[in-house]
Chain A
């Protein structure tokens, strides 16, 4: 398998549930990212990991908890979400942590609906 994969592609969860989103990159990249895309809003960067170390947390509520066990895998653990958290969650990777140095490769996204 090549590129950046995400599972599941669709997820419906209640506000009291706990679920996890998974991202895997097969590109040998060192940096991985979580983005949120809500309807009618620009993409928002949530978390950045470089060599498995979190380097950015853009004021994201604690009900979102990232985990990067190794440079190929990234998880987003979800608990007690709110309906306004319904969005498309995109994972991306890049060779290095430099937005001015190269392109990012995106996964297909997980469409999350919180009921």
Chain B
């Protein structure tokens, strides 16, 4: 069964802390997406990666194909980073299934 597991489910951090959110998947995938969903529902695509590492500002996404694992890191976290972070794995080729994790709810306190 194609599954996507995220951890932790909830995360509370102090402003300035380094944050890591994890995503693991069950079998080979062709790509993995990281999304950010703010209160109110709007979703923003952060990264799409199939190997290695990508960086955008304070956000870094990595993927380890052998270990079937991806991480999203936030450096120098800020209260505006508070959101739900969702990973989604692409199974079955580039036009295959997109399976979503349940999300990690991050709250950054000032």
- Residues of A whose CB lies within 8 Å of any CB of B are 37, 40-45, 88, 90, 92, 97-109, 111
Contact = CB atoms under 8 A, between A and B. Distances in A.
Contacts, number: 59
Nearest to B48: A103
Contacts of A101: 94
B98 A99 contact: yes
A108 B33 contact: no
A107 B44 CA distance: 9
Does more than half of chain B's interface fall in helix, strand or loop, or is it mixed? strand
Contacts of B72: none
A88 B94 contact: no
B35 to A, nearest CB: 8
Nearest to B47: A103
A111 B41 CA distance: 9
B102 A42 contact: yes
A106 B88 CA distance: 14
Nearest to B29: A100
A92 B86 CA distance: 15
Given A106-B42, A106-B43, A108-B40, A100 B93 contact: yes
Given A41-B102, A42-B102, A99 B90 contact: yes
A92 B35 CA distance: 12
Interface in B21-51: 30-31, 33, 35, 40-45, 48, 50
